[in-house]
Amino acid sequence: MTSALTDPTEAPSSGDALPSWTTDVTRNESSLRRFLAGLPGVDPVGIEQRAAALATRSIKKASKLAAIDLAIAMVDLTTLEGADTPGKIRGLARKGIDPDPGTEGVPHVAAVCVYPDLVEAAVEQVRGTGVKVASVATAFPSGRSSLAVKLADTALAVRAGADEVDMVIDRGAFLAGRVGLVFEQIQAVKQACGSARLKVILETGELATYDNVRRASWLALLAGGDFIKTSTGKISPAATLPVTHVMLQAVRDWREATGQLRAVKPAGGIRTTKDALRYLVAVREVAGPQWLDPHLFRFGASSVLNDLVMQRRTQLEGHYSGPDYVTVD
Amino acid sequence: MTSTHLDWDYAPAPESPAIGAVRDRYLPFVDGVFAEGRGPDLDTVSPGTGERLATVSTSGREDLELAVAAARRAQQQVWGPMSGAERSKYLFRIARGVAERARELAVVETLDNGKPIKETRDFDVPTAAQHFFYHAGWADKLQHLGLGPDPAPLGVAGQVIPWNFPLLMAAWKIAPALAAGNTVVIKPAETTPLSILVLAEIMADADLPPGVVNVLLGAGDLGSALVTHPGLDKVAFTGSTAVGRQIARSLAGTGRPLTLELGGKGANIVFEDAAQDQAVEGVVNGVFFNGGQVCCAGSRLLVQESVAEEFLARLQARVETLRVGDPMDKNTDVGAINSPAQLARITALVDAGVSEGATAWRSSCPLPERGYFLSPTIFTDATASMRIAREEIFGPVLTTMTFRTPDEAVAKANNTPYGLSAGVWTEKGSRAMGMAAALRAGVVWDNTFNRFDPAASFGGYQESGFGREGGRAGMAAYLRTDDEPQLAPQPTEAGA
C-alpha cells in the first residue's frame, strides 16, 4: 500500500502542533517505514534485566498507601464479555464510582471500559461523578474488518457519549510492513473520535518483538493516538513489564521530540497490588514522575481493583480482611 | 484537563541490621578454631554511617606460621588424600550454608563494606554460593579438565583478597583451591573482615576438617608476610596493580605459581547502531555498580560522535534517577565508598580531572550527612592524556570520550596499560565479533556489562594481571600436571 498519506499536522492532535519533521516522516509509506526501521533497536536481554531489577523496589508505608490510591485512580475498570448486559454495566459503574463503600477517601477509578453498545448504559450511571466512559471499537479485538465498519463502530461509541475510544490496530498489516495502512486507519479513527481521547491498542502479544513494539508505538503516536495501549486482554501474553518499559520510553522520547505528553495503558494480566506498584515504579523511573497521573497512565484491568481495595484497608487497619469484605460486582 | 499528578516517592525501606547478628568482637580462624590473634586489635567501620561496627583481633607472625603449618598438615594428611567425591560433598555443604544464611551474609556485607543491600542480596551472596556449587562439581572430575590423566593439587595456597567484594572474592579464591585438593591460608582486607568470618563459621558448621581453610586478619604487612611465606605452593592475589607488582617481584625466581587479578580501566564502546536505552543501562551498570569500586568497571565511555550528544543526555537523565544513600535501604542504587582513604583518592582524581580541563557533571541526588559518599560523576570532553582517562579511579566516576570509526574505538580502548574488561554495544553481530577479537581485554562483554558466571574464566591482560579465575582455566591455576617443570624444591613443613 503506497497511497499518499494525509498531512498529519491537519489531524487533530493532543496539544500543540507537531514539529515539521513529522510531516516529512509521514509523507508516504516508504518514508514512514524508513523512519520506523531507523529507530534504535531494543535489546531483549537488557530490557528484561532492567524491568526485573526495577521490580525489586520496596514500596512501604506512606508511599504504599499513596501508590494504592494512585493506582485505583488509574484503573480503567473493564468488562468485555459477550455476556455483558446493562445490569452488569450498572454494577461495574457503581463499583468504579465508589470502589470501597463505607470507607472514606477512596478515589474513584479513571474510567469504565465497555463494548460500544453498552456505552449508553455506562454513561447514565457515571454522569456527574468524574468517572469517564471508555469504549472499545474498530472490530475489537481482532480488528479484522473494513475501515468503514471500524469507523461506524467508533461513531456508535462516540454518539453514545464515550469519552475515550480504545481502538485496535491491524496487526496483520503491521507485520506485513503495510505501515501506511495502519497509520491511515489510526488517523481516520482519531478523526471519528472528535473530542474523545483515542487509545491505540498495539496488541503487543501478536507483535512478538520489542523492536516491533517500539515501531508500532511511534506509528500510533505519529498518527495522533492519545494513548498507546498494550493489549486487548484477549491474547496471551497481555501486558508485561518489559513491553510497558518500551512504551514508556516511547512517550518519554516523544515528549523530547515534540514537546507533547502522550499516555500509556498496559492492559491485561495486572491482577495484584504488587503488580500495579511495579508498574508505577516503572512509570516513575522510565518515563518520569510527570506521568504519575491518571490522565497519562492507566491500568486496563478489573480484578486488580478489589486487591487494591483490600491492600488499602490492610495499610490503614494493620491487618488483612478478606475477599468477603470487598464487594464483587 | 485537570491534572491530578502525584508527587510520589519511595518511603525509606531499610533492611534490619539485626539480621546480620553482628557481634562486638571477631577472631581469626586457624586450624579449625576461632582464637585470639597475637596482633593488635582493629576496629572495622561501617562506611554507611562512619561508625565502628565491630572489633577484630588481628593475627601476628606466629599466627601466620601456625596457619601455614596447619594448612600443610591438613593438605598432606586429610584434604589431599581425600577422594574428589568426598571433597565435593564438603563444597556442596558450604554452598548450601551460604544460601541458607544468605540474608545474614547480605546484611553483614552491606554493613561492613558499604555497598547497597540490593547488590549484596541479589548479586554478591548468590554468586558466592554459585561459585561453591560450581566448583563442588569439579572436585571429582579433575581428570576431565583437559590437564592430563591425573592432575594433582599444588599444596598450600596463600591468598589475599580485596575489600570491594569481600565474600565473593573469598568464594572465587577458596572454592577452586579446595576443589583441586589444596588447602588455604587467606587474608581479607582490613576494612572488610566480617563476611569471610561468617563464611568460616559456615565451613566449621559443615565440619570442614581443621586447617583446610585458615582465615588470618590484619593489614597490608600481614598480607605481604603471607604471600612471601616460603611454606606456600601457590599465591593468589586480587588487589591493586602496585601491590601486585611488589608480589611478583618478591616471588620472582621462587618457582611458586602466582595468580594476580589487578586493576583496570575498562572501555565501554557505544556504536551509533546500538540499542541506545540498553546501552545507557549498561554504561550505568558498568561504572556505578558497587559505586565503581570494581576492578573490571567500564570507567571509560567511548561513544560514537554521531550519537554522542543524544547519548550523553540520556545517560545523564538516567544517572539522575540513581538513588544514592543509605546502603541498608532496599531502594538504594549507589551506596557508600568503602573508606575515607578511598574517598580521598577518588576525590583527588576528580579534582585532577577538573583542573586538567574536563567538564564534570554530578548527579543532583542528595548525599547522606554521615558516612562516606560521593555523587555519581560524569566527565565529558576528557582527552586521552588526562589522569582521569589513564588512571584507575575505583569510584563512581565515568570518563567520556568520543570516536568516529571502529578502528579509532579499538585504538582508544586498547590505549591503556591495563586490559581487564571491555564492553561493545552494537546491534550488528559482525561488528561485535570483530571488536571482541581486536580488544585487548580479558573479558569483552557484548551488549551487556558486569555479568559473571563461575563457568566463565575471568582475568586480565598486561597490568591487569595474569592467570584466570573461574571455569576450567581457573581450576588449572590450582593444579599441577605431570608435564609441568618443577622449578622449586618441594616445600618442607614450614615451622617457626
The kind and range of the H/E element at A264 are strand A263-265
B2 within 8 A of A294, measured Cβ to Cβ? no
Closest CA to B440 of B228, B297, B266: B266
Show the domains of chain B with their CATH numbers.
17-262+460-480 (3.40.605.10), 267-446 (3.40.309.10)
Strand partners, B473: none
DSSP per-residue codes, A266-326: -BSS--SHHHHHHHHHHIIIII-GGG-STTTB-EEESHHHHHHHHHHHHHHHSS---GGGS
A77 within 8 A of A305, measured Cβ to Cβ? yes
Would the ipTM clear 0.90, i.e. be above it?
Answer: yes
Q: Enter the DSSP assignment of A327.
A: -
Taking contacts as CB-CB distances below 8 angstroms, the residues of chain A near B281 are 46, 49-50
CATH number at residue A96: 3.20.20.70
What number of other Cβ atoms are within 10 A of residue B253's Cβ?
9
Residues listed for chain B: 496
Residue B484 is predicted with a pLDDT of: 60
Mutate to test the interface with B, among A14, A43, A212 (most CBs of B within 10 A): A43
Residue A4 is predicted with a pLDDT of: 37
Is A75 in the B-facing interface, judged by CB distances under 8 Å?
no
Q: How far is A147 from chain B (nearest CA, A)?
A: 30
Give domain status of residue A257, yes or no. Answer: yes
Q: What's the total number of domains in chain A?
A: 1
Per the CB < 8 Å rule, is B9 touching A50? no
CA atoms A29, A34, A40, A44: torsion sign: positive
Residue A3 is predicted with a pLDDT of: 37
Output the CA–CA distances (angstroms, integers) from residue A22 to A10, A185, B191, B321, in the order listed: 12, 17, 57, 30
Q: Which residue has the cell 498495539?
A: A202
Residue pLDDT, tens place only, A25-76: 999 999 999 999 999 999 999 999 999 999 999 999 999 999 999 999 999 9
Per the CB < 8 Å rule, is B4 touching A293? yes
Chain A to chain B Cβ contacts (< 8 Å):
84
In angstroms, the CA B260 to CA B241 distance is 9
In angstroms, the CA B191 to CA B113 distance is 8
In angstroms, the CA B174 to CA B478 distance is 10
Alpha-helix runs per DSSP H in A127-272: 147-159, 171-175, 179-193, 204-207, 210-222, 241-258
Widest CA span in chain A: 62
Q: Which of A43, A56, A58 has its CB closest to that of B278?
A: A43
In angstroms, the CA B376 to CA A112 distance is 44
Task: Give me the tens of pLDDT residue by residue for chain B, a chain 496 residues long.
Answer: 344 556 789 999 999 999 999 999 999 999 999 999 999 999 999 999 999 999 999 999 999 999 999 999 999 999 999 999 999 999 999 999 999 999 999 999 999 999 999 999 999 999 999 999 999 999 999 999 999 999 999 999 999 999 999 999 999 999 999 999 999 999 999 999 999 999 999 999 999 999 999 999 999 999 999 999 999 999 999 999 999 999 999 999 999 999 999 999 999 999 999 999 999 999 999 999 999 999 999 999 999 999 999 999 999 999 999 999 999 999 999 999 999 999 999 999 999 999 999 999 999 999 999 999 999 999 998 999 999 999 999 999 999 999 999 999 999 999 999 999 999 999 999 999 999 999 999 999 999 999 999 999 999 999 999 999 999 999 999 999 866 655 555 555 544 3
pLDDT band (50, 70, 90) for residue A2: very low
Give domain status of residue A309, yes or no. Answer: yes
Give domain status of residue A157, yes or no. Answer: yes
In the sheet that holds A197-201, the strands lie side by side as: A263-265, A227-229, A197-201, A164-168, A132-136, A111-114, A75-78, A299-301
- Compute φ and ψ for A186, nearest 5 degrees: -60, -45
A249 within 8 A of A2, measured Cβ to Cβ? no
Is A70 in the B-facing interface, judged by CB distances under 8 Å?
yes
Give domain status of residue A2, yes or no. Answer: no
Residue pLDDT, tens place only, A130-152: 999 999 999 999 999 999 999 99
Q: Which residue has the cell 585487548?
A: B440
Rounded to the nearest 10 degrees, the angle between the axes of helix A273-282 and helix A44-54 is: 120
Is B282 in the A-facing interface, judged by CB distances under 8 Å?
yes
Q: Which domain holds residue A172?
A: 8-319
Is B9 in the A-facing interface, judged by CB distances under 8 Å?
yes
Taking contacts as CB-CB distances below 8 angstroms, the residues of chain A near B447 are 43, 45-46
Q: How far is B153 from chain A (nearest CA, A)?
A: 39
Amino acid occupying residue A228: I
Q: Give residues 247 to 306 of A whose Cβ lies within 8 Å of B.
A: 249, 280, 284-285, 289-290, 292-296
Q: How far is B282 from chain A (nearest CA, A)?
A: 8
Taking contacts as CB-CB distances below 8 angstroms, the residues of chain B near A295 are 1, 3-5
Per the CB < 8 Å rule, is A58 touching B13? yes
A32 within 8 A of A180, measured Cβ to Cβ? yes
The answer to whether residue A61 is catalytic is no
Per the CB < 8 Å rule, is B6 touching A249? no
Strand partners, A322: none
Q: How far is B197 from chain A (nearest CA, A)?
A: 29
Exposure class string for B88-120: b at 16+ Cβ within 10 A, else e: bbbbbbbbbbbbebbbbbbbbbbbbbbbbbbbb
Residue A329 has pLDDT above 80, yes or no: no
Q: What is the mean pLDDT of residues A224-247?
A: 97
CA atoms B175, B177, B180, B184: torsion sign: negative
Give domain status of residue A173, yes or no. Answer: yes
Q: How far is A295 from chain B (nearest CA, A)?
A: 7
Residue A327 is predicted with a pLDDT of: 87
User: Which runs of E-coded beta strand occur in B128-181?
Assistant: 152-153, 156-160
Copy the grid coordinates of residue B140.
571429582
B404 within 8 A of B360, measured Cβ to Cβ? no
Is B496 in the A-facing interface, judged by CB distances under 8 Å?
no
DSSP per-residue codes, B411-441: HHHH-SS--SEEEEE-S-HHHHHHHHHH---
Closest CA to B342 of B453, B228, B190, B482: B190
Give domain status of residue A61, yes or no. Answer: yes
Residue A8 is predicted with a pLDDT of: 40
In angstroms, the CA B352 to CA B345 distance is 11
Residue B6 is predicted with a pLDDT of: 66
Is A195 in the B-facing interface, judged by CB distances under 8 Å?
no
Is A46 in the B-facing interface, judged by CB distances under 8 Å?
yes
- Compute φ and ψ for B300, nearest 5 degrees: -115, 120
pLDDT band (50, 70, 90) for residue A328: confident
Q: Which residue has the cell 609441568?
A: B484
Per the CB < 8 Å rule, is B321 touching A285? yes
Give domain status of residue A270, yes or no. Answer: yes
Task: Report strand pairing: B465-466 vs A75-78.
Answer: unpaired
